[in-house]
Structure 1
């Protein structure tokens, strides 16, 4: 199930356990692909800012 957080980011818990971790809000994993122009400094900063507020 995909959870739309806002217009920019979606959360995709892969298992029921992942969903529980997401709901508790105790952990975050942000995967980025080095060398991929999509993950520039602005996008990574936005992801980190989003994670801190969550």
Structure 2
């Protein structure tokens, strides 16, 4: 289970399939999951402000 919205899966298949053809379709869901994980792990900058204030 990758916890991706069904629309996100369709968009990923269309996007990566359009870029890399068959292999893009084949790897669309793992790549979309990777993109989501990186996006969720990316710092938003609020912790830097809290550190500089304290």
| Fold match (TM-score > 0.5) | no
TM-score normalised to structure 1 length: 0.31
TM-score normalised to structure 2 length: 0.31
Looking at both structures, which has the greater relative contact order when contacts are Cα pairs under 8 Å and sequence separation is at least 6? Answer: 2
Q: Quick check: which has more Rg, 1 or 2?
A: 2
